[in-house]
Structure 1
């Protein structure tokens, strides 16, 4: 899946702070996941059963950072996992969106996760390009 010429779709920003465009499930499949806030088609089971997604559906707002309980235990646990496994911070993503807006965040993500070699999307999960399978550092 090539990086779109325009900026990444802002509807691909999940309530927790994840950019679904750079998820392995979106990058590598013929029927890519449509993102957290869209249909469950193509989603892995853990995303379909996500308690964070279910929680945000019960509250006002679209993003966890808009909640008075933020950061809750679920967000803290996910943050810890992403820090350790992928050297990424979903809370930093959310804070950037809060301060600078979703459009600028997605513009920055496009710069960070576009393969310089072929223009594919680099997955946050394994740092591999969706097109040329080049491993990024």
Structure 2
């Protein structure tokens, strides 16, 4: 899958994840439409996401809008992403909060576009969805 001209805001999940760079989105013929849309095409853990259910129950869109942010669930997910993928979902949320969604998504496009072919670099395995270039290869 090639990086689109513009990343749509609906691809920003309540937790701070950019769904466009998720390995499930990158490598499937019918990628999911993002956390904020239907559950069609999503892996089971996304369909059963407690964070998504929580924001719906609280009638907010993003976790950072909650007065209890960051909650235990967000802190646990943040720790996992820090360790496993060297990424900060809370950092993403802070950037959106401070600089706006459009600016954040533009920076995400720069960061996750493969320089070799224009594909999408997955946050989960640092590999291009098109040419399988791995960030660690060079």
TM norm structure 1:
0.98
Q: How does 1:22-41 map to 2 (within 5 A)?
A: 22-41=21-40
Q: How does 1:48-63 map to 2 (within 5 A)?
A: 48-63=47-62
In the alignment, structure 1 residue 16 sits paired with structure 2 residue 6: no
Query: Residue 130 of structure 1 corresponds to which residue in structure 2?
Result: 129
CA distance in 1, matches of 2:48, 2:10: 19
CA distance in 2, matches of 1:32, 1:25: 7
TM norm structure 2:
0.97
CA distance in 2, matches of 1:69, 1:61: 12
- Describe the SS at the equivalent of 1:93: helix
Structure 2 runs not aligned, ≥5 long: none
Q: CA deviation at 1:59?
A: 1.0
Query: Residue 109 of structure 1 corresponds to which residue in structure 2?
Result: 108
Report Cα offsets for 1:46-96 as digits up to 9, x if no partner: 000000000000113200000000000000000000000000000000000
Moved over 3 A (4+): none
Structure 1 runs not aligned, ≥5 long: none
Query: Residue 72 of structure 1 corresponds to which residue in structure 2?
Result: 71
Query: Residue 2 of structure 1 corresponds to which residue in structure 2?
Result: 2
CA distance in 1, matches of 2:90, 2:59: 19
